[in-house]
């Protein structure tokens, strides 16, 4: 797969090489993060974690708003969890939701290795069950929400994110372009349809200021949605 830029075909190989160049410049070697990736692969889990430079972006965004409380929907092996938890102050907290118990165990081990176990709580179960539990517990509003779970339910996850956020919170949603398939109105892919519904609801949502940016890199062609929750 590739795209034509100024008459030149730019391929996945080049995107990956540029990502490697960016990572070499801006993301120092990190044995903890490397171990998280390795354990995820060894457990036979899907290799769908964010790229290192994307992890750095999430870290910077959390730092920029001085986040003290973070919600992550979709843990996988805890790679992105570690990135964003490291942006928290010593008394900060992160709640991450994972539907698969086996994935959650790998994530817990990776988070413990990163010495973040005291501030990170992994909750196991379908997010559409654990999100209402968070609300029922009266959890304080989250400063940042990162949505990176199954795409079919992304619109519902976003609605819960709004309920659990506050004015000034950031809601970041991954994989919202789907190799460009998001513009295919005839797509019968449930994940594409879920993202299409999400993008439409995000654009129409008066409680946020939002945009979507396309991304290319080692993870292919996709995009991120970034929404800032407005004040009253």
- How far is 75 from 102, CA to CA, in rounded Å? 11
Q: Which residues of the chain have pLDDT under 50?
A: 4-8
* All structural domains of the chain with their residue ranges: 2-229
The whole-angstrom separation of Cα 74 and Cα 151 is: 11
Helix, strand, coil percent values for the chain (each to nearest 5): 45, 25, 30
Q: Looking at residue 7, what is its pLDDT?
A: 47
Q: In this structure, what are the phi and psi dihedrals at residue 228, rounded to the nearest 5 degrees?
A: -105, 120
Asked if 45 contacts 105 with a C-beta cutoff of 8 angstroms, the reply is no
Q: To which CATH superfamily is domain 2-229 assigned?
A: Vaccinia Virus protein VP39 (3.40.50.150)
Instruction: Return the pLDDT at 11.
Output: 82
Would you state the pLDDT for residue 6? 44
């Amino acid at each position: 797969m590739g795209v034509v830029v100024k008459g030149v075909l730019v391929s996945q190989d080049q995107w990956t090489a540029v990502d490697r160049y960016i990572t070499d410049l801006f993301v120092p070697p990190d044995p903890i993060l490397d171990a998280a990736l390795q354990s995820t692969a060894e457990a036979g889990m899907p290799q769908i974690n964010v790229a290192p430079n994307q992890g750095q972006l999430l870290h910077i965004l959390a730092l920029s708003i001085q986040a003290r409380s973070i919600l992550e929907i979709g843990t996988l092996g805890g790679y992105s969890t570690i990135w964003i938890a490291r942006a928290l102050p010593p008394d900060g907290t992160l709640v991450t939701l994972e539907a698969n118990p086996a994935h959650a165990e790998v994530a817990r081990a990776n988070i413990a290795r990163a010495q973040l176990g005291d501030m990170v709580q992994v909750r196991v179960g379908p997010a559409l069950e654990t999100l209402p539990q968070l609300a029922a517990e009266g959890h304080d509003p989250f400063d940042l929400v990162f949505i990176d779970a199954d795409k079919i339910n992304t619109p519902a996850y976003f609605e819960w994110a709004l309920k659990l956020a506050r004015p000034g919170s950031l809601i970041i949603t991954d994989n919202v372009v789907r190799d460009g398939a998001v513009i295919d109105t005839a797509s019968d892919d449930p994940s594409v349809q879920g993202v299409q519904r999400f993008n439409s609801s995000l654009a129409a949502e008066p409680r946020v200021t939002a945009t979507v940016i396309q991304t290319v890199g080692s993870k292919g062609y996709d995009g991120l949605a970034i929404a800032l929750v407005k004040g009253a």
